[in-house]
Structure 1
Amino acid sequence: MSKSGTKKRLGSDYGSEEAKKKIKAPSEVLAHVKQLAKIALSEPEIERTLLELELEHDCREVIDKDADAVMDEVESAIYQSAVSILKGEGFSFAVPSRSKGNQLYVPELDRIVLKNSTSQRHFSNSATCRKAVITARVLGLIHELCIKRIHVTKRDLFYTDVKLFEDQTNSDGTLDDVACMLGCTRSSLHVVASEKGVVVGRLRFKEDGDQIDCQRMGIGGKAIPPNVDKVVDIESDAHFILLVEKDAAFMRLAEDRFYNTYPCIILTAKGQPDVATRLFLRNLKLTLKIPVLALVDSDPYGLKILSVYMKGSMNMSYDSSNLTTPDVKWLGVRPSDLDRFNIPQQCRLPMTEEDIKTGKKLMEEDFIKANPEWVKELEIMVTTKVKAEIQALSSFGFQYLSQVYLPLKLQEGDWI
């Protein structure tokens, strides 16, 4: 939604004190947001699945499984390996491929899914021997966790066998392989990431029996728990969820109590989103049925981060049905905003060759092509070869983000 006439009229003095005078009362600022919420509520919720689609390729998805079901899957995988050894065929695991070539964007679902292609991880092959051993070790550790009904962090898992894993990327990657192998979500494996995401604003819920009020958490906000399944009884009078890329912008909005003037929930994963934050956002959206508006840097990586929330990530495309929130709206900071808001030239950064390459690659993605407005913004970015961070808005004053930029964007209904 955009109001081109309004943009032309206001664009010349967005960076001045006159801009503040253009901001209406909070109820009027939020008029377009409320309309967006009404549209979302009026549309029937149809959760389509891969099984309903007649796709050219077979695809693989996972589901939540309890500890007993995961143990059964682990024991089945080990049993099959044992049978293979007894047959004289050697010890190996059939591991789903998570490479980009094995991924598919499905427009009907508006997310990335994983095609059903596997490769053998043989112990007898020097190229895959070590990976086969790591896979067996991780399966054993997961089985132990399920028996004991306890959770550990990915870092804990790594330290159980540092000599074997050598680097945490090896144990982390194998965790995703194993989840895909067993047909379960990664959270079903009882291995979680350390707390990363935070939330603040008009939100109340119970976490493992404790009542949490996110308006009373100070400027640091409430850490999003790694065990999102323990979050229940979600309540809110917010009109929208503001998804923020960076911690610095989150802190500014929290300290200014932006959510009091414009009732909202503010959430960040402090950069690249972790599983818990993605699960939490999806849970909020499904429960509260309010719009999600995103505030990210005006660079290719800001858009990549946004796309992970919306369409899924390469590493975890097998679990995209549980981790994605497809209908997030891109509020800002957009390439077209740099001129509209008169961002000073010294606050605009030249894009590197790697930035430009990443931007052009994004323009080739099917999910980008499906949104012409996104294509236009990326074309501006790649053509001008200029990027900017959210903090560039601070050139007009530390509170410009909360007092001018966001209110004007919301007032115009300027999101795509």
Structure 2
Amino acid sequence: MSKLAGKKRPLDAGEKAILATKKKIKGTDEVLAQVDKLCSLAKKEPARAKTLAELHLPQACREVIEKDADAVLDEVEASLYTVAASILRGEGFSYDVPLRTKGNQMYVPELDRIVLKDACGQRPFANTQTNRKAVITTRVLGLVHELCRKRIHVTKRDLFYTDVKLFQDQLQSDNVLEDVACMLGCTRSSLHVVASEKGVVVGRLTFREDGDLINCQRMGVGGKAVPPNVDKVTEIRSDAMFILLVEKDAAFMRLAEDRFYNTYPCIILTAKGQPDVATRIFLKRLRDVLRIPVLALVDADPYGLKILSVYMKGSMNMSYDSSNLTTPDIKWLGVRPSDLDRFNIPEQCRLPMTDEDIKTGKRLLEEEFVQANPAWVRELEIMVTSKVKAEIQALSSFGFQYLSQVYLPLKLQEGDWI
């Protein structure tokens, strides 16, 4: 019999590093001790955030509110009466449309989010550059009036198909829909137009959706689709200690299959990339109702940080509705540029940044909300200087369950979030 029979293969350097890291992880209670402290702080925060009106800003800003169908009907009819009166006076018609460009936006540190200033632009029909948009605006107002009158909801895609010849491209109907919401002073969901289902949730959460009881621990690996009509979600209940916001579907499925939420009580949520409106509203709703912290797991690249910034500070396109869509106090758990060396991510799993990646990273460094967080600045500087990025999946080089069994428990145990 060979002398080598029964002998274990010696561990290589990488395997030794993984084993050493695993040994650092303590019992569940000790892993969650720092999370518990963060949770206590979250529950002590004021239940209601300040409003723009309470800040008395020197610059007038525009913000929308949730309105019921009758209120939206009144706003639409008032807009069209104004148009009709203008036509009868022989003055033609024009819409006052709030400008949603970057130049008309500002970051408000007290609210820690982007808001829309109050400047408006004219959209006259008797102008070759704007007459088509004026017609589309009128058509969308009519469609919204019909939806609110009938008390029905449709998707943005449905809206586009009502008049393909006029709209030509869904981007055109989508953009005018945002203009209309801003004009009428209401959220987009108030218009009875919803986005298609994209986000999914799993873990220690129950709620009623239009009266039906949903238990997110019994939704399998795929999770429960985030309701497109978040206003129909009621009776939100959970014993979770935190919400884990995940950028990608692959990481979500890994954590769901490993039942990560059973060992570490949490709710796991993803929008499978760029966040949609329903997922953003749902996240804010969970955070406000449950009063628990939100920890984010995104790729260590500029795109991952842009996605995180949309959840936290809002997007340019919908800055008018940032109060209903943003969750400013999200903590960046990982994957961070400093983690690449700390966790010995193999060189072959580190990707070179493109010129566009580097430009995006530098632009992020110039953003006010980034400059307000020195830890974010340090991480972005590491990324831009090293010109290296990595995906969450790079952790799979140590084993498929490294994310759920080693990386996340250690980050939680150390309270390693910024």
Q: Assess same fold via TM > 0.5.
A: yes
Deviation for aligned residue 1:204: 0.6
Q: Post-superposition, which runs of at least 4 consecutive aligned residues in structure 1 deviate over 4 A?
A: 12-15
Which residue matches 1:147?
A: 149
Structure 2 stretches lacking a partner, 5+ long: 1-13
SS in 2 for 1:378: helix
Q: Work out whether 1:338 is the aligned partner of 2:324.
A: no
> Retained in 2: the 8 A contact 1:15–1:396?
no
SS in 2 for 1:342: coil
Q: How well do the aligned residues superpose, as a CA RMSD in angstroms?
A: 1.1
Deviation for aligned residue 1:14: 8.6
Find the aligned partners of 2:342 and 2:209 in 1 and give their Cα distance.
43
Deviation for aligned residue 1:181: 0.2
Whichever residue aligns with residue 168 of structure 1, its letter is Q
Write out per-residue CA displacement over residues 156-180 of structure 1, whole angstroms, 9 at most, x where no aligned residue.
0000011111110001111100000
Which residue matches 1:370?
A: 372
Write out per-residue CA displacement over residues 356-384 of structure 1, whole angstroms, 9 at most, x where no aligned residue.
11111111111111111001100001000
Alignment match of 1:95 (pick from 97, 100, 118): 97
Q: Between the two proteins, what is the percent identity of the paired residues?
A: 78
SS in 1 for 2:244: strand
Which residue matches 1:137?
A: 139
> Retained in 2: the 8 A contact 1:225–1:276?
yes
Deviation for aligned residue 1:15: 4.7
Which residue matches 2:292?
A: 290
Classify 1:330/1:88 alpha carbon distance in 2 versus 1 (closer, same or farther; 3 Å). same
Which residue matches 2:32?
A: 30
Alignment match of 2:331 (pick from 329, 337, 347): 329
Q: Which has the higher contact order (CA 8 A, sep 6+)?
A: 1
Which residue matches 1:165?
A: 167
> Retained in 2: the 8 A contact 1:245–1:302?
yes
Find the aligned partners of 1:14 and 1:130 in 2 and give their Cα distance.
66
Whichever residue aligns with residue 239 of structure 2, its letter is D
> Retained in 2: the 8 A contact 1:298–1:390?
yes
Find the aligned partners of 1:119 and 1:105 in 2 and give their Cα distance.
21
Structure 1 stretches lacking a partner, 5+ long: 1-11
Deviation for aligned residue 1:216: 0.3
Which residue matches 1:68?
A: 70
Which residue matches 1:3?
A: none
Whichever residue aligns with residue 58 of structure 1, its letter is A
Which residue matches 2:8?
A: none
SS in 1 for 2:268: strand
> Retained in 1: the 8 A contact 2:207–2:214?
yes
Find the aligned partners of 1:342 and 1:98 in 2 and give their Cα distance.
44
Find the aligned partners of 1:200 and 1:236 in 2 and give their Cα distance.
12
Deviation for aligned residue 1:44: 3.4
Which residue matches 2:7?
A: none
Deviation for aligned residue 1:17: 2.1
SS in 2 for 1:134: helix
> Retained in 2: the 8 A contact 1:14–1:342?
no
Deviation for aligned residue 1:314: 0.5
Deviation for aligned residue 1:54: 2.3
Which residue matches 1:128?
A: 130
Deviation for aligned residue 1:55: 1.5
Deviation for aligned residue 1:22: 1.4
Alignment match of 2:21 (pick from 3, 19, 22): 19
Whichever residue aligns with residue 326 of structure 1, its letter is P
Which residue matches 1:204?
A: 206
Deviation for aligned residue 1:57: 1.1
Whichever residue aligns with residue 385 of structure 2, its letter is T
1:220-239 pair list within 5 angstroms = 220-239=222-241
SS in 2 for 1:16: helix
Find the aligned partners of 1:159 and 1:130 in 2 and give their Cα distance.
18
Alignment match of 1:356 (pick from 355, 358, 377): 358
Which residue matches 1:54?
A: 56
Whichever residue aligns with residue 322 of structure 2, its letter is S
Whichever residue aligns with residue 355 of structure 1, its letter is D
Classify 1:404/1:73 alpha carbon distance in 2 versus 1 (closer, same or farther; 3 Å). same
Which residue matches 1:7?
A: none
Find the aligned partners of 1:307 and 1:14 in 2 and give their Cα distance.
36
- TM-score of the superposed pair, with normalisation by structure 2: 0.95
Whichever residue aligns with residue 381 of structure 2, its letter is E
SS in 2 for 1:293: strand
Deviation for aligned residue 1:92: 1.1
Which residue matches 1:301?
A: 303
Alignment match of 1:193 (pick from 177, 192, 195): 195
Deviation for aligned residue 1:46: 4.7
1:178-189 pair list within 5 angstroms = 178-189=180-191
- TM-score of the superposed pair, with normalisation by structure 1: 0.96
Find the aligned partners of 1:376 and 1:32 in 2 and give their Cα distance.
22
> Retained in 2: the 8 A contact 1:349–1:387?
yes
Classify 1:346/1:74 alpha carbon distance in 2 versus 1 (closer, same or farther; 3 Å). same
SS in 1 for 2:123: strand
> Retained in 2: the 8 A contact 1:208–1:231?
yes
Classify 1:63/1:15 alpha carbon distance in 2 versus 1 (closer, same or farther; 3 Å). farther
> Retained in 2: the 8 A contact 1:84–1:91?
yes
Write out per-residue CA displacement over residues 34-87 of structure 1, whole angstroms, 9 at most, x where no aligned residue.
011112223334511111122221000000001111011001111111111122
Which residue matches 2:260?
A: 258
Moved more, 209-218 or 78-87: 78-87
SS in 2 for 1:336: helix
